[in-house]
Structure 1
């Protein structure tokens, strides 16, 4: 069920019996010369909608701009500062709790959002207002990702390329795959750390075109496999979370 497509009386019926919501969260940022800037929010929204359709749980509108200042050197990248993002996401969940939601799954597709969504979840958990957890799609199916691609990469690589080929193939510039590979960086790289210290802050420090990994073996068929497997994992997570007693999810009392 998509919140934005329902009337308020219909939503009232949902809140009478259910207390879980999916909140898709992505970014609007560069993904190399071959993928659209909306890659992350397209993936997040598609997965959240699919899971909501399959499970019957509520899906909110998508948060399309996340924490992406590390991609700022590339044209068109949008971002909000981390403290603003955290406060916004906490306020968004508090809005849902007003209507009766007490557990939330952040359906996330942008690595830069992860620590901040975890912090939001921590705040809500400690206050007892809600139980909100961050779910990153590729981390739910690591074995499949490794099996499908010889040279994976965390950004603009084959897994994201294949997903967008499946979800919005018309937005993929397949004629630029070779350019993306030649101007990108293999992953992992030995140039990112020095004596145990992480030595970079921005993506452009390690990749001149913003790409990590080899997208040349990505296909829409592989993207469909990824999407179906991740959707199944998300549905299972929602069902598990729905079955938990809220008292068991919130912070425990001091010993």
Structure 2
């Protein structure tokens, strides 16, 4: 069920019988010369809607702009300052609690949002109003990602390229995949951007001239379909698990 498509009287029965909502979040930021700036929020919304369609749980409209200032040097990147983002997401979530939702899955597709969504989840749990958890699609299927790609890359790499080839292939510049690889950082390891154990970079451009990492030529729509189906399965299972938990088992424990 997609909240924005429903008339308010038709949502009454959902709020009377269910207490879970899926909230997709992403970003609007550069993803190299080959992918749209909406890559992250397109992936998040597609996965959340798929899980909602399969389970009947509620999917809210997508939060399209995230914490992305580390991509600001590239044309068109939009970002929210971290405190404003946290407050906005918390406010939106409290909208849902007003209607009776007490558990939320943040269906996230942008790494820059992770720590801030975790902080919002802690606020809501500590107040006893809701149990909200962050879910990152690629972290739910790490073995498959590793199996499909020689160098998957943390941003704008083949895993995101393959997902957009599957979800919205018309937005991918397939003729630029080699340029994306050759103009970015295709080979890296845990020591890249670090000196004597310290992380020395702040922005994507500090490590990659065109803002992306990995070998994009390794991506195909067929691999994207595999990723999408596997991640959707994980999100469905998570939704069903969370809906089954007694709320008292989710809230913060009392001091002992």
* TM-score scaled by length of structure 1: 0.99
1:1-255 correspondence runs (5 A):
1-185=1-185, 186-188=187-189, 190-255=191-256
> 2:33 aligns to what SS in structure 1?
coil
- For residue 151 of structure 1, report the CA deviation from its aligned partner: 1.0
> Cα 1:154–1:132, aligned 2, differ >3 Å: closer, same or farther?
same
Asked whether the 8 Å contact 1:30–1:37 carries over to 2, the reply is yes
> 1:188 aligns to what SS in structure 2?
coil
Structure 1 residue ranges, 4+ long, deviating more than 3 angstroms after superposition? none
Task: Extract unaligned runs of 5+ from structure 1.
Answer: none
- For residue 23 of structure 1, report the CA deviation from its aligned partner: 0.1
CA distance in 2, matches of 1:98, 1:57: 17
> 1:119 aligns to what SS in structure 2?
helix
- For residue 189 of structure 1, report the CA deviation from its aligned partner: 6.0
CA distance in 2, matches of 1:93, 1:178: 41
- For residue 154 of structure 1, report the CA deviation from its aligned partner: 0.5
CA distance in 2, matches of 1:189, 1:197: 11
- For each residue in 1:142-195, what CA deviation from the matched residue of structure 2 results, as whole angstroms up to 9, or x when unmatched? 000001001110100000000000000000001001110111112326331111
- For residue 120 of structure 1, report the CA deviation from its aligned partner: 0.2
CA distance in 1, matches of 2:166, 2:188: 23
CA distance in 1, matches of 2:203, 2:216: 21
> 2:106 aligns to what SS in structure 1?
strand
- For residue 217 of structure 1, report the CA deviation from its aligned partner: 1.3
CA distance in 2, matches of 1:191, 1:19: 44
> 1:104 aligns to what SS in structure 2?
strand
CA distance in 2, matches of 1:190, 1:105: 33
Aligned length: 255
- For residue 24 of structure 1, report the CA deviation from its aligned partner: 0.1
- For each residue in 1:184-233, what CA deviation from the matched residue of structure 2 results, as whole angstroms up to 9, or x when unmatched? 11232633111111001000000000010001010000000000000000
Asked whether the 8 Å contact 1:152–1:187 carries over to 2, the reply is no
> 2:34 aligns to what SS in structure 1?
coil
CA distance in 2, matches of 1:160, 1:237: 22
